[in-house]
Structure 1
Amino acid sequence: MKNYKAIGKIGEGTFSEVMKMQSLRDGTYYACKQMKQHFESIEQVNNLREIQALRCLNPHPNILTLHEVVFDRKSGSLALICELMDMNIYELIRGRRQPLSEKKIMHYMYQLCKSLDHMHRNGIFHRDVKPENILIKQDILKLGDFGSCCSVYSKQPYTEYISTRWYRAPECLLTDGFYTYKMDLWSAGCVFYEIASLQPLFPGANELDQISKIHDVIGTPAQKTLTKFKQSRAMSFDFPFKKGSGIPLLTANLSPQCLSLLHAMVAYDPDERIAAHQALQHPYFQEQRAAELQVLASHRRTLLPEHPMALEPLSHNWHASKESRKQKQPLRQEEDAKRLGPACLMQLPKLRLSGVTRLSSCSSPTLRSVLGSGTNGRVPVLRPLKCVGPNKKTDPQKDIKPNLKQCRLPTIARKGGGY
């Protein structure tokens, strides 16, 4: 940490505190997440889920950038040096009287869906998507705090109470840890509504009240959905029938496409809930996709500007017939190519954007995971980090499974806030 100067504290949580730091090398400001837990070896640091996830997902325009990991072996302290953002979504909407414009809401939600799509395609799901973990800087949205993330392919059941209560999906509330990456889309739908209305969608006071508030709005689920949930729950449950009032119309200025996407994200049955790559193709984001295509076309023109063609000198053969001109055309093209060089003949690379590419519907991503193994997978090995302190050779194949606590970015305390 001798290369950084502390400026001030940004926040503090149970497992870490976040400081604003300035690099003494170039003067750049960073956010430093200092872990309160002490670590004994580089292997423990490398096995930390948050570091594994950030290494796998970086770089991406909508994922918080991890710049450096600083581990002091002598003291056992660990710090993550990340990019410094301006604020989080909760700070953006806190105290506002007028909601954001639908164009701004669309812009933020498109970026959030892109971050989820990138994460799920790489075999990771976040498990704690909420306004405090969604960061903004100059209208660029980035997802942060991967301390609770998990492998898509790791064996169920997972930890039951992992996400913050207000944003917890029904399958997390009604099963013994049998949920999938679709829980992130439920949480994103709750954030969607909160950005649009400035009010939380399901502000439950406890677990039972949380389910009750979901049923008040959406209604009790179909019997087939409850049957699926009961198969993975030690205790049985039966809910009185509720039709549901529907999502509150506090957002009368929102378009029908906006409400359509919102309903698709908070579908009670996770099998019927929209996936991130499908959300990116929703008609609500048509304007965002068109803007990306325009940027792509501009980028292509920048890569290969048009070459002006030199004018041919006049000659006495300008009265030649059409047939003779057709015969000379291939020769002229060869001469032009020699004169202009290989750049004239070069083809543009095909650039791909996850939000533009049309994808087929699928139940889960097919890419490998870096956080854990399924029934047949293998855990990839990360190379040791550079650390402050004496060097120690480590066996990269040694499988160490330390008993570590979950590490989270500190959040701003919210009164009654669903924690």
Structure 2
Amino acid sequence: MKNYKTIGKIGEGTFSEVMKMQSLRDGNYYACKQMKQRFESIEQVNNLREIQALRRLHPHPNILTLHEVVFDRKSGSLALICELMDMNIYELIRGRRHPLSEKKIMYYMYQLCKSLDHMHRNGIFHRDVKPENILIKQDVLKLGDFGSCRSVYSKQPYTEYISTRWYRAPECLLTDGFYTYKMDLWSAGCVFYEIASLQPLFPGANELDQISKIHDVIGTPAQKTLTKFKQSRAMSFDFPFKKGSGIPLLTTNLSPQCLSLLHAMVAYDPDERITARQALQHPYFQEQRATEKQALASHRRACFPEHPVAAEPLRAGWQMSKEGRKQKQSLKPEEDHPKRQGLAYIMELPKLKLSGVTKLSSYSSPTLQSVLGSGASGKAPVLRPLKCVGANKKTDPQKDMKAALKQCHLPTIERKGGG
């Protein structure tokens, strides 16, 4: 940590504290997550889930970037140097009197769903999605704190008391650790509502109160859902029937499309809950998808501008058939070449001309010296071409070749990886 100067403390959790640091090498500011746990070896550090997840998910615009891992073998201390963000979602909405605009809410939720989709497609689920772990800098949202993440392919059951209670999915509350990546979508739905209404959706005081708060809003689940939960629970439960007040009665500033996506994210049964990939295709994000598509097209035009001069030899008539909508390219074949299938040859490569003795460059290669031997100048010897033998001389070309080959023996090339 001698390359960093401590500026101040940002926050503290159960397993770590976060400090604002300045790099003495580049002068930039970073967030340093100092672990309270002591580590025995670098292998133990590399096996840390948070480090593995951040490395696997990098790079992505909506995932926090890990810049450096600082491990001190002597003291066993570990620090993760990450990019510094301005604030988290909780700090953004805390103390606000008026909700954010629906356009900004839509923009934030689209980025959150993109981070979840990227994470789930790479085999990781977060397990602790909440406003404090969602960071913002200049309206760019990034998901951080992967200390509780797990592989989607790891064996159940998982830890029961994971995730913060207000954002804990029903399957985490009612089963003995039998839940999936769908729990992240429930948590994201709770965050969705909290950003829009400036108040938590299910603020339970304890485990039983948390379940009661969920039933007060969305009602008790269907019997088939409870049956699935009971199969993985040691104790039985029977809840009194509640119709539920419904989410629309809690707020009036949410559009129908917004409420549609919110209901899909907080579906009680995880099998009926929407995925992050499906959420990105929801009509609520239609404007965001169009904006992103337009920005991508502009970026491609900027990176790959059209050059009329270079494109001149590639005159092609593209025809779209009505039946199969297949693209056909018609290229005029060159007169000197027969008609070829596949890619058209734009230009002909120049023919190699061998005149006289081809001299090697003056670059001295240790490999060539060891194999062929070095001359008086210390440079690689010149390879002389074979002389053409006249028709009146009877010689055996194979003997000449063997004689030439006996002068040097190339070393055996060994493949890497046992190939």
User: TM-score normalised by the shorter chain: which range applies?
Assistant: 0.7 to 0.9
Equivalent residue, structure 1, for 2:34: 34
Q: Check if 1:239 corresponds to 2:239.
A: yes
In structure 2, C-alpha distance between the alignment counterparts of 1:194 and 1:137, rounded to whole Å? 19
User: Where does residue 142 of structure 2 map in the other structure?
Assistant: 142
Distance of 1:235 and 1:250 partners within structure 2: 33
Q: Deviations over 1:335-393 (max 9, x none)?
A: xxxxxxx9x99xxxxxxxxxxxxxxxxxxxxxxxxxxxxxxxxxxxxxxxxxxxxxxxx
User: 2:417 matched to which residue of 1?
Assistant: none
Q: Does 1:268 align with 2:268?
A: yes
CA positional deviation for 1:209: 0.5
Task: Mark the runs of 5 or more structure 2 residues left unpaired by the alignment.
Answer: 313-330, 335-343, 348-419
Structure 1 distance, partners of 2:167, 2:14, is 20
Q: Give me the whole-angstrom Cα distance separating, in 2, the residues matched to 1:253 and 1:309.
A: 55
Q: C-alpha separation between the residues in 1 aligned to 2:33 and 2:199?
A: 29
**Letter aligned with residue 129 of structure 2:** V
CA-to-aligned-CA distance 1:300-336 (integer Å, 9 cap, x gap): 11122133569x9xxxxxxxxxxxxxxxx9699xxxx
Q: How far does the alpha carbon of each residue in 1:21-72 deviate from its partner, in whole angstroms, 9 at most, with x for none? A: 0111110100000111111100110111111111111111000000000001
User: How does 1:1-16 map onto structure 2 within 5 Å?
Assistant: 1-16=1-16
Name the TM-score, length of structure 2 as normaliser: 0.74
CA distance in 2, matches of 1:304, 1:83: 31
TM-score (norm 1): 0.74
TM superposition shift of 1:250: 4.2
CA distance in 2, matches of 1:42, 1:213: 45
Aligned-partner residue type, residue 241 of structure 2: F
**C-alpha displacement of 1:2:** 1.1
Distance 1:152 1:55 in 2: 17
For 1:154, the aligned partner's letter is S
CA contact (8 A) 2:100 2:196 kept: yes
Alpha-carbon shift at residue 253 of structure 1 (Å):
2.5
| Structure 1 residue aligned with 2:206 | 206
In the alignment, the residues of structure 1 paired with residue 93 and residue 70 of structure 2 have an alpha-carbon distance, to the nearest angstrom, of 34
Query: Bigger relative contact order, structure 1 or 2, given CA contacts below 8 A and separation 6+?
Result: 1
C-alpha separation in 2, matches of 1:13 and 1:157: 25
SS in 2 for 1:30: strand
- Show the counterpart of 2:291: 291
Instruction: Mark the CA change 1:158 to 1:331 in structure 2 (over 3 Å): closer, same or farther.
Output: closer
The residue that corresponds to 1:52 in the other structure is 52
Partner of 1:73: 73
Aligned to 2:125: 125
Change in CA separation of 1:256 and 1:248 when aligned onto 2, cut-off 3 Å: closer
Written as runs of structure 1 = structure 2, the 5 A alignment for 1:328-339 is none
| Amino acid aligned to 2:143 | L
Alignment match, 1:382:
none
| Distance (whole Å) between structure 2 residues aligned to residue 133 and residue 279 of structure 1 | 20
- 3-state DSSP class of the match of 2:267? coil
**Moved segments of 4+, more than 4 Å:** 329-332
Equivalents in 2 of 1:280, 1:195: separation in Å?
18
Aligned residue for 1:22?
A: 22
Give the Cα–Cα distance (whole angstroms) in 2 for the partners of residues 307 and 50 of structure 1.
Answer: 46
Q: 3-state SS of the aligned residue for 2:270?
A: coil
Map Cα deviations across residues 62-118 of structure 1 (whole Å, 9 max, x no partner).
000000000010111100000000000000000000000000000000000000000
* Counterpart residue number, 1:61: 61
Matched, 1:154 2:154: yes
**SS state at 1:249 partner:** helix
Identify the residue that residue 116 of structure 1 maps to in structure 2.
116
Q: Could you tell me how far apart the structure 1 residues matched to 2:291 and 2:51 are?
A: 33
Over 3 Å counting, the alpha-carbon distance change for 1:217 and 1:250 in structure 2 is closer
Q: Which amino acid aligns with 2:196?
A: A
Pick which of 292-301 and 63-72 moved more: 292-301
Instruction: Name the structure 1 match of 2:88.
Output: 88
Distance 1:201 1:43 in 2: 41
SS in 1 for 2:272: coil
Gaps of 5+ in 1: 313-328, 333-341, 346-419
1-side partners of 2:236 and 2:136: how far apart?
A: 42
* 2:147 partner SS: coil
Paired with 1:297 and 1:42, the residues of 2 have a C-alpha distance of: 44
RMSD: 2.0
Aligned to 2:219: 219
Name the structure 2 match of 1:179.
179
Alignment of 1:252-331 (within 5 A): 252-308=252-308
Q: Cα–Cα, structure 1 residues 299 and 230, in superposed 2: closer, same or farther, change >3 Å?
A: same
Residue 9 of structure 1 aligns to a residue in which SS? strand
Aligned match of 1:405: none
- Inter-partner Cα distance in structure 2 for 1:83 and 1:304: 31
TM-superposed CA distance for 1:163, in Å, is 0.5
Q: Give the number of aligned pairs.
A: 319
Residue type matched to 2:296 in 1? L
Residue 252 of structure 1 deviates from its aligned partner by 1.8
Report the CA distance between 1:248 and its aligned residue: 4.5
SS in 1 for 2:284: helix
* Paired amino acid for 2:28: T
Question: 1:153-189: per-residue Cα shift (whole Å, max 9, x none)?
Answer: 1110000010100000000000000000000000000
